[in-house]
């Protein structure tokens, strides 16, 4: 695929696409988080339904299956009163790129305004944005191991609600850092917002090669990584990865890297635990931790709708000059 | 799965969940049927669209495929102006229960208000209700061979439109009574509404063990069962069941237990014929019977939308204190 | 399947169903095209959302997969504010016809007003219309090799925007004419609107047997067909067809019958190029042609939404007496 050339922020500093957290100015991230707060339902109240995208057409193009991410984008668009189409796309390596463009051009001609792209290839969302019509926006819902910006934004929003000052935070990310678009986008967002102490905890084959460039501290053991941490982000581990890259059992992974009551005994009482979901119960996290008092896993889900509503509303506003 | 402990009726006698017909008070059933009538379209008019669930999110969680039941719940929710999500869930016996709860918790965090559950396990809907947040309602759209309460309610509504007085009714249920959630829920509803003469007609292996407890009279032949009947409910027979439990051909089943012109020659002219659909043409029912003058099969379908609208509207009203 | 007997135009000359272009009066086609223009979005503006079908239920019954056609009908219905259900149907040759009717009757009982039918069998849409309730309309979204009337109408609309006078037009249709419902419907529409010079260009096995009856001129070479043409309609070629009926490679097909820069060197500069999509890049059309200055392929897609909105609005208006 070509190198993307379309900027995701326009000359006025407004959001045009959301492709990656890398390069997003801190002020714009904070503006998205502020806007997100306006879309949160009041406690005990039903979700808000607003007419901001009435008449707009949001197309979910999912080249990878993902019930959860698809559902949150669908609900966010519906609560903004948009018409929503979800296309589960087959992706063949033979026709990739060109065939994807035919789909883009066709859906644009149907009047689609916002494309939500989930794709196994790094850079796919930028490739769509690079080829999209000027009045069309692209949101990256996860491309390969590259980026998952709405997940990172909802993670930042969730952390900020509990720990408003990012500058002194100590954050540990536990799991398959190397292959995780969530980790890459979380690290970029945390650094942009001023976090200087980011630890990555994983078996050696799952640690990133470029930890220094990323600005993170690799830790070989959970005890090292969690020491004095304010925030712990657990990542989903794939069963194939354990078998192939690691050759360890789920039970062994849990013993060494799982968020379990035993492993978290010395965690600070006010530390937050995050997980992007869906969880592998009893592997990277135990259910009593995932639904325990320090976990904000379900807040992440709730906030995920609001952050996607905020991003779509901001992009639609920038497009219409509002 | 745990024994359910959440009651489906609250202290004020209002409907909080709809899990089973067993234990539903007769007055509440009648209230549902009365409310159903208000959602029926006028003859020749298009379906009604009302804003009662505007802003609410209805999630269909289908762990078994069912185009018809899914479609009726979807249409009922849309005609109440709710946002509707349908998730076709994979169900693995290995992860059942726990994994289902993760889905419940996640969708609740997204702001879902009403869950419609279709599941192969008896008690699944009650399990969801037992674990749901206080402001969330669960509707059982069929769980194993246990219950299918909205089907029973629409059957009662359909019968009542033609035979308002249930006390003297003679009702025959024909088919795989033993494994049928429809039969179990219909029997419970009929008895609660005062029907004392309920016959069940099936080959011996498909008759229930506990006919006396159920309060029904087993009949070995269709002639016995239909004698002087006011209502005949045919059940869908599964092809695997005929082959395995019965070792008879579809043609033989039809000859002995099918609703055919020959078999119904002595049926009372004002007797009603019901079938929950979809029909197996020429097995448990012939098409000229299914679409004949005594059949109310298509009325059942129409009423099925209205009864689901009524149940969702009543639950939403009870939740909001309206 | 039975011979259809329900007329698609009522005694007042209004559209009741849309089953085929054959027999549609020229005035009615022009009325549809005029109405289509009212549903086109203004340049640069978002698609229009109008309440003409508010409360109506549109059911897409797709017995063949087709993301594009399904999507355009879904969007057209949503922009008319209808409730939309899409059912991907399995089609077994054993149960066809009868089983399809059960689906029709059931969906009618649910209050469905408009059925959009895509089906592998010639005549399927007419069969549904023939058996539908009087207040229900059927739109043919492609049946076998028989007809695809909305595609032909959007093609006519697209051509008319650029070439308002049809009487002197020279039109070449290139590709698998014999098996193409698009070709059959396009030919009928072109002839009804007064086109007398229609050429069909294809390898001999893909030319129609009844060219004279159809009123078209077969051409064995692209050069003959495109000579002095005003409009070129390329058809999608199926890979199986090339292998089985033709025994030629995609590269050879492209060399002889593909719309490539080389093959179009003598095409008139104001000639239009159409393709119903999705395109096979580098087989029947090259991407630089499909997205080049003479192509109206993406206009076809845009117009396809508007023509389907127009047809649904006209049918709904005729039904309600408006």
pLDDT tens, residue by residue, C269-308 = 999 999 999 999 999 999 999 999 999 999 999 999 999 9
Same structural domain, C289 and C161? yes
C166 and C294 part of one domain:
yes
Contact C143, C181 (CB under 8 A): yes
DSSP A87: E
pLDDT in tens, A97-111: 778 899 999 999 999
pLDDT at A212 over 50: yes
Run of H or E residues at C312: helix C297-320
Instruction: Sort out which chain C residues have CB atoms less than 8 A from B47's CB and list them.
Output: 55, 57, 111
At residue C47 the predicted structure's pLDDT band, cuts being 50, 70 and 90, is confident
> Cβ A111–C302 below 8 Å, yes or no?
yes
What are φ and ψ of residue B172, in 5° steps?
-110, 130
- The DSSP call for residue B244 is I
Contact at 8 Å (CB) between A228 and A268? Answer: yes
Residue A244: is it exposed, middle or buried by C-beta count within 10 angstroms (0-12/13-18/19+)? exposed
Number of domain units in chain B: 2
Q: For B225-269, what is each residue's pLDDT tens digit?
A: 999 999 999 999 988 888 887 888 999 999 999 999 999 999 999
User: Nearest by CB to B98, which of A48, A72, A287?
Assistant: A287
Using only C-alpha atoms, chain B has a radius of gyration, in whole angstroms, of: 19
Rounded Cα gap, residues A110 and C149, in angstroms: 19
Confidence of residue A1 (pLDDT cuts 50, 70, 90): very low
Domain annotation covers residue B11: no
Q: What is the pLDDT of residue B320?
A: 64
Record the pTM.
0.93
pLDDT for res C322: 45
Residue at B115 is within a domain: yes
**If you average pLDDT over residues C100-108, what whole number do you get?**
94
* Residue A278 assigned to a binding site: yes
C-alpha to C-alpha distance for C200 and C65, rounded to whole angstroms: 27
Residues C123 and C227 reside in one and the same domain: no
The average pLDDT across C63-68 equals 88
C-alpha to C-alpha distance for A275 and A232, rounded to whole angstroms: 9
CB-CB neighbors (< 8 A) of C102 in chain B? 277-279, 281
Spell out which chain C residues touch chain B, with contact meaning CB-CB distance below 8 angstroms: 54-57, 83, 85, 87, 98-99, 102, 105-111, 113, 135
CB C115 within 8 A of CB C143: no
Cα separation, A186 vs A182, whole angstroms: 6
Query: What are the b/e assignments for C192-210, b being 16+ CB within 10 Å?
Result: bbebebbbbbbbeebbbee
Q: What is the pLDDT, as a whole number, of residue C95?
A: 55
All residues of chain C having their beta carbon less than 8 Å from the beta carbon of residue A135 are: 44
Write the CB contacts of C293 (distance below 8 Å, at least 6 apart in sequence): none
Q: Determine the Cα–Cα distance for residues B107 and B105; give it in Å rounded to an integer.
A: 6
Output the six-digit token pair for A267: 């965690």
Same-domain status, A81 and A134? yes
Asked whether residue A19 is assigned to any structural domain, the reply reads no
Q: pLDDT digits over B27-73, tens only?
A: 999 999 999 999 998 887 778 889 999 989 999 999 998 888 999 99
Give the DSSP H or E segment for B84: strand B83-88
Residue B54 near residue B84 (C-beta atoms within 8 A) = no
- Could you give the percent of chain A with pLDDT greater than 70? 95
Whether residue C15 lies inside any domain: the answer is no
Nearest chain A residue to B114 by CA: give it: A46
B94 pLDDT tier (thresholds 50, 70, 90): low
Q: Are residues B59 and B163 in the same domain?
A: no
| Separation between Cα atoms, residue B142 and residue B125, nearest integer Å | 8
Section C181-201 average pLDDT: 98
Q: At what angle do helices A181-192 and A149-162 cross, to 10 degrees?
A: 50
Nearest-CA distance A298 → chain B (Å): 6
Burial degree of B35 (CB within 10 A; 0-12, 13-18, 19+): middle
Res. C69: pLDDT tops 70: yes
> In whole angstroms, what is the distance from residue A41 CA to residue A168 CA?
30
Predicted pLDDT at B315: 95
In chain A, the percentage of residues whose pLDDT exceeds 90 is 84
pLDDT given at position B51: 93
**Distance separating the N- and C-terminal Cα atoms of chain C:** 34
Q: Residue C227: name the closest of C162, C271, C261, C285 by CA.
A: C271
Closest residue in C to A83 (Cα) is C78
Residues B104 and B190 in one domain: no
**Structure-token pair, residue C266:** 């003598």
In a domain, C205, yes or no: yes
Q: Does position A13 have pLDDT exceeding 50, yes or no?
A: yes
Burial class of residue C230 in the structure, from the number of CB atoms within 10 Å of its CB (0-12 exposed, 13-18 middle, 19+ buried): buried
| Selection from B168, B195, B186 nearest residue B268 by Cα | B168
C264 inside domain: yes
Q: Which residue of B has its CA nearest to A51?
A: B55
Asked whether residue B154 falls in the same domain as residue B293, the answer is: yes
pLDDT digits (tens, 9 = 90+) for A63-82: 998 888 999 999 999 999 99
Token readout for B273 is 């014929």
Domain assignment of residue B21, yes or no: no
Cβ pair A197, A169 in contact under 8 A: yes
As a whole number of Å, the end-to-end CA separation of chain B is 33
Taking an 8 Å cut-off on Cβ atoms, the answer to whether C302 and A99 are in contact is no
Residues of chain C contacting residue A99, judged by C-beta atoms under 8 Å apart = 281
Which pLDDT does position A153 carry in this prediction?
98
Quickly state the pLDDT bin for B176 (edges 50, 70, 90): very high
Q: Are residues A205 and A68 in the same domain?
A: no
pLDDT, tens digit, for every residue of A160-201? 999 999 999 999 999 999 999 999 999 999 999 999 999 999
Of A159, A218, A155, A214, nearest to A182 by C-alpha is: A155
Residues C231 and C288 in one domain: yes
User: Which of B235, B309, B311, B286 has the alpha carbon at shortest distance from B41?
Assistant: B309
Whether residue C192 is found in the same domain as residue C132: no
Q: Is residue C93 scored above 70 in pLDDT? A: no
Does C318 score more than 80 pLDDT? no
Contact A111 C41 (CB under 8 A): yes
pLDDT, position C191 = 98
- Measured CB to CB, residues of chain A less than 8 Å from chain C are 54-57, 83, 85, 87, 98-99, 102, 105-111, 113, 135
**3-state secondary structure at position B163:** coil
What's chain A's length in residues?
A: 322
| Partner residue opposite B305 with nearest CB, options C56, C110, C113 | C110
Does residue C3 have a pLDDT over 60? Answer: no
Which has the closest alpha carbon to A139: A200, A232, A72, A40?
A: A72
Residue C66 sits in a domain whose CATH number is: 3.40.50.1370
Q: How many CB atoms lie within 10 A of CB C124?
A: 27
Q: Which residues of C are annotated as a binding site for L-aspartate?
A: 96, 181, 236
Number of A:B CB contacts under 8 A? 54
C-chain residue closest to A99, CA distance: C281
Q: Which residues of A256-267 are buried (b: 16+ CB within 10 A; e: fewer)?
A: ebbbbeebbeeb
- Specify whether the CB–CB gap between C315 and C73 falls below 8 A: no
Helix, strand, coil percentages for chain B (3-state, nearest 5): 40, 15, 45
Residue A239 exposure: Cα atoms within 13 Å on the Cβ side: 5
Q: Which residue has the higher pLDDT, C81 or B92?
A: C81
Average pLDDT over residues C105-111: 95
On whether ipTM exceeds 0.95, the answer is no
Query: Could you give the CA distance from residue B67 to residue C106 in angstroms, rounded to a whole number?
Result: 11
| SS3 (DSSP) at B188 | helix
Residues A41 and A133 in one domain: yes
Instruction: Please determine, for residue A302, whether its predicted confidence score (pLDDT) is greater than 70.
Output: yes
Domain containing B59 equals 26-147+304-320
Among candidates B46, B278, B287 on the partner chain, residue whose Cβ is nearest the Cβ of C55: B46
Q: Tell me, yes or no, whether B102 and B223 share the same domain.
A: no
Q: Is C253 in contact with C282 (CB distance < 8 Å)? A: no
Q: How far is the C-alpha of A97 from the C-alpha of B6, rounded, in Å? A: 52
- Closest-CA residue in chain B for C105? B298
Known binding site: residues of C? Answer: 68-69, 96, 118, 148, 151, 181, 236, 277-278
Whether A27 has a pLDDT exceeding 90, the answer reads yes
Chain segment B99-153, per-residue pLDDT in tens = 889 999 999 999 999 999 999 999 999 999 999 999 999 999 999 999 999 999 9
Query: Does B272 fall in a domain?
Result: yes
Predicted local distance difference test score (pLDDT) of residue A2: 43
Tell me the angle at which helices A98-109 and C297-320 cross, rounded to the nearest 10 degrees.
Answer: 40
Are the C-beta atoms of residues A43 and A55 closer than 8 Å to each other?
no
Mean pLDDT over B172-177 rounds to 97
Nearest to A273 by CA among A304, A288, A294, A293: A294
Longest dimension (CA), chain C: 57
Q: What are the backbone angles phi and psi of residue A253, rounded to the nearest 5°?
A: -60, -45
> Measured between alpha carbons, how far is C145 from C143 in angstroms, rounded to an integer?
6
């Amino acid at each position: 695929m070509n190198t993307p050339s379309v900027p995701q922020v326009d000359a006025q500093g407004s959001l045009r696409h959301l492709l990656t957290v890398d390069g997003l100015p801190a002020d714009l991230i904070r503006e998205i988080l502020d806007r997100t707060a306006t879309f949160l339902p009041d406690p005990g109240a039903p979700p808000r339904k607003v007419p901001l995208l009435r008449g707009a057409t949001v197309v979910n193009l999912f080249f990878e299956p993902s019930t959860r991410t698809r559902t949150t984008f669908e609900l966010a668009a519906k609560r903004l009163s948009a018409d929503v189409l979800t296309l589960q796309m087959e992706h063949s390596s033979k026709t990739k790129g060109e065939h994807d463009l035919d789909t883009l051009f066709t859906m644009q001609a149907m009047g689609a305004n916002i494309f939500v792209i989930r794709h196994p290839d790094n850079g796919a969302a930028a490739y769509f944005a690079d080829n999209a019509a000027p009045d069309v926006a692209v949101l990256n819902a996860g491309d390969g191991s590259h980026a998952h910006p709405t997940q990172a934004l909802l993670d930042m929003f969730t952390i900020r609600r509990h720990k408003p000052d990012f500058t002194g935070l100590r954050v540990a990310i536990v799991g398959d850092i190397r292959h995780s678009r969530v980790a890459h986008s979380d690290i970029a967002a945390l650094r942009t917002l001023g976090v200087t102490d980011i630890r990555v905890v994983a078996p050696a084959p799952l640690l990133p090669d470029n930890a220094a460039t990323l600005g993170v501290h690799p830790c070989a053991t959970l005890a090292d990584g969690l020491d004095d941490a304010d925030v712990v982000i657990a990542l989903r581990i794939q069963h194939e990865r354990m078998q192939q890259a690691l050759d360890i059992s789920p039970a062994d992974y849990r013993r060494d890297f799982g968020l379990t009551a035993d492993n978290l005994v010395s965690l600070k009482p006010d530390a937050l635990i995050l997980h992007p979901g869906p969880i592998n119960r009893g592997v990277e996290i135990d259910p009593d931790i995932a639904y325990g008092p320090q976990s904000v896993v379900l807040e992440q889900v709730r906030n995920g709708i609001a952050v996607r509503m905020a991003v779509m509303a901001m992009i639609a506003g920038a497009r219409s000059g509002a």
